[in-house]
């Protein structure tokens, strides 16, 4: 049973997420070129190809938790999967609903809800579960992750994508260059948003709750999914930047990391 202080804090994180993501609206992905630049698009394409190959169930039923405006939801729907998308923000759910082509609507179900409440209410299992840039927004991400892992059917997949990596700084010089590159990337980003007339949203504050602790630790996430019957297939770390050239420099030259993905498979039932 959470203490009064804990449940107040949890409620505040939820409210801040509702408020912040309503501001993001239809311009969410325009404001986040770190998700759409060519460098990151390549990572996304490779991840989805690996997903198709490993899942090998073309009509699979998938759940995306925190689907936002459809960064992964739309390409997965286009690949023929049957999708359920859950997001706290009814504004973003409406944006995504309007983006779904008529021919795909029959395979799509969108729900505006807190993922924890949704999982309590609905007991379905899925062939695959995805969450992209969601877990660091949650007050209690471990409970949610454990429940998401439990809902994956035997042989099915769980993808955690684009989460901020909690890291230890080993080389102060490399860290200095990493910060300088980040500052330049950010300055150019601010200018380009101004030029395009896209208002910037303030810092995530309480909505980005887990960033207060320096991000998430892939080893901890791996332990949670293993405790819930999954095998970790791959953890990938990389550096995200607003511009593709900056991401290339960070990854290929500096070798710095600030983000990770984790892919896991539910163990097959004995004799299956």
Ligand X SMILES: C[S@@+](CC[C@H](N)C(=O)[O-])C[C@H]1O[C@@H](n2cnc3c(N)ncnc32)[C@H](O)[C@@H]1O
In this structure, are residues 162 and 238 in contact, taking their beta carbons and an 8 Å threshold? no
Sheet strands (E) in 99-196 = 108-112, 126-132, 152-164
Q: Which of 44, 110, 115, 249 binds ligand X (CB under 6 A)?
A: 115
**Does 114 contact ligand X by CB under 6 A?**
yes
Which region holds residue 214: left if phi is over 0, alpha if psi is between -120 and 50, else beta? left
Identify residues 160-199 at the interface with ligand X (CB under 6 A). 162
Tell me the Cα Rg of the chain. 18
Minimum CB separation of residue 267 from ligand X in Å reads: 26
Encoded one letter per residue, x for contact with ligand X by CB under 6 A and - for no contact, window 124-143 reads --------xxx--xx-----
Distance between CA atoms of residues 132 and 65, nearest Å: 8
Tokens of 254: 């500096």
Separation of alpha carbons 70 and 64, rounded Å? 9
Instruction: Select from 44, 55, 60, 67 the one that contacts ligand X (CB under 6 A).
Output: 67
Nearer to ligand X, 251 or 259 (CB): 259
Q: What spatial distance separates the first Cα and last Cα of the chain, rounded to whole Å?
A: 37
- Using Cβ positions, the residue closest to ligand X within the complex turns out to be 68
In angstroms, the CA 127 to CA 121 distance is 19
Q: How far is the CB of 61 from ligand X (least distance, A)?
A: 19
Is residue 66 near ligand X by the rule CB under 6 A? yes
Note the maximum CA span of the chain: 61
Task: Based on the shown chain and the rule CB under 6 A, indicate whether residue 210 belongs to the binding site for ligand X.
Answer: no
- Give me the least distance between CB of 234 and ligand X, in Å please: 19
Task: Enumerate residues 13-32 that contact ligand X by CB under 6 A.
Answer: 14, 17, 21
**Quick one: which of 43, 60, 77, 92 contacts ligand X (CB under 6 A)?**
92
Closer of 70 and 156 to ligand X (Cβ): 70
User: To the nearest whole angstrom, how small is the minimum distance from the Cβ of residue 261 to ligand X?
Assistant: 12
- Quick check: 133 and 104 in contact, CB under 8 A? no
Neighbours of 138 (CB within 10 A): 24
The secondary structure of residue 216, as a DSSP letter, is: B
Residue recorded with tokens 């986040």: 32
| Beta carbon of residue 137, minimum distance to ligand X (angstroms, whole number) | 4
Least distance (Å) between residue 120 CB and ligand X: 12
Residues within the interface to ligand X (CB under 6 A)? 14, 17, 21, 35, 66-68, 71, 86-89, 92, 114-115, 132-134, 137-138, 162
């Amino acid at each position: 049973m959470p203490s009064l202080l804990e449940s107040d804090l949890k409620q505040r994180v939820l409210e801040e997420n509702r408020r912040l993501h309503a501001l993001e609206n239809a311009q969410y992905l325009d404001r986040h070129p770190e998700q759409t630049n060519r460098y990151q698009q390549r990572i996304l394409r490779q991840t989805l190809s690996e997903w198709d190959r490993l899942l090998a169930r073309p009509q699979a039923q998938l759940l995306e938790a925190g689907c936002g405006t459809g960064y992964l939801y739309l390409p997965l729907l286009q690949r023929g999967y049957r999708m359920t998308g859950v997001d706290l923000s009814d504004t973003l759910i409406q944006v995504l609903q309007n983006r779904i082509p008529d021919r795909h609507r029959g395979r799509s179900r969108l729900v505006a809800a807190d993922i924890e409440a949704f999982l309590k209410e609905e007991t379905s299992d899925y062939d695959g579960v995805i969450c992209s840039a969601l877990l660091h927004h949650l007050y209690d991400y471990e409970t949610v992750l454990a429940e998401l892992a439990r809902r994956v059917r035997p042989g099915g997949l769980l993808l955690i994508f684009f989460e901020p990596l909690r890291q230890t700084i080993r080389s102060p010089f490399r860290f200095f260059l990493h910060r300088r590159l980040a500052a330049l990337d950010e300055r150019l980003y601010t200018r380009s948003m101004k030029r395009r007339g896209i208002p910037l949203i303030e810092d995530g504050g309480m909505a980005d709750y887990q960033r207060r602790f320096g991000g998430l630790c892939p080893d901890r996430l791996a332990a949670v999914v293993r405790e819930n019957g999954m095998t970790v297939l791959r953890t990938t770390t990389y550096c995200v930047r607003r511009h593709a050239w900056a991401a290339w420099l960070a990854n290929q030259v500096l070798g710095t990391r600030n983000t990770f993905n984790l892919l896991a498979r539910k163990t097959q039932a004995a004799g299956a």
